[in-house]
Structure 1
Amino acid sequence: MSSAELPAGAEPRSRGRRRLDTEHRLTHDIDVWVASASAGGAAHLVPLCFHWDGEALLVATPADSVTGRNLAATSAVRLALGHTRDVSMIEGEVETIELDALPKERADRFVAHTGFDPRVLSTPYRWYRISPRRIQAWREENEMSGRELMRDGRWLV
């Protein structure tokens, strides 16, 4: 049964189950919502494909796009995986990496997972490596308690 099919008032998952569900999403999902802000506080939200290597998410976007400029300038991001009734929220620190500076093997894993290769485009892209600092996961109000699964880059469960 998918989260969209869950009956209202379903029993809350344990924090351990939520971590497993979040790790499954990180490993298997292809797209993530990326929320960034300019130094002046102008918010921007876009979907980007990503690859998780067990420690960090890797995304790519044009270096001169609003998202690219925001991520490079502030080194902060908020991500959302899943649906509104089954979401994992990730706050992370961003490392900006020039396209040719990422090891080929890492870039190849990104391409194999997402089907997208920014290295072959004429538009100048950059890689952005996002290290999670805080992760929360919940479905409905009955999972609001205990929704924090990671704090300061360390899993709590």
Structure 2
Amino acid sequence: MFLAVAGGVSVDELARKAGLKRTTMLSVESADLGELSDGDITIHMARGGAMGNLLAASDLVLSQAGTATVQALGLGKPAITFVNPRDRRSRFNDEQMLFGEARTVVAAEAPAVGAALRKLLGDDEERRRLANIGRQRIGGPGAMQAIIEALVG
């Protein structure tokens, strides 16, 4: 699993409160925040530039970050999120119309997030279905090249 971690979040405190063990980073990038694990599930964490590495190693994404969500969905990684009180509701709704079922929206409560995780982690077929929706709606890497070709051509 991949978790895009907001700048103000202490990963050590997150690990302590979740009762998970924090392990070393996958890369030397400062934005790679390592992993949290209980032995059965592994949560890869990152900020900014290290996300590509971690997305490749993940089955799904927990995300509150717009760019991380778009990147994940385009690469076929279903996302789980909740509405943050600081979110502009109109923007969130517009994004959801674009993302469709590929982004699962749950209540901002641990039981709701946990239930969504259990459902997706336990259903490979559903994860593949949502992955396909994300790839179709967002598309993979290479958009900049396609834009340049359209403008020049």
TM tier relative to shorter chain: under 0.3
- Could you state the TM-score of these two structures normalised by the residue count of structure 1? 0.24
> Higher relative contact order at CA 8 Å, sep ≥6: structure 1 or structure 2?
1
- Could you state the TM-score of these two structures normalised by the residue count of structure 2? 0.25
Q: Which has the higher helix share?
A: 2
Q: Which has the higher strand share?
A: 1
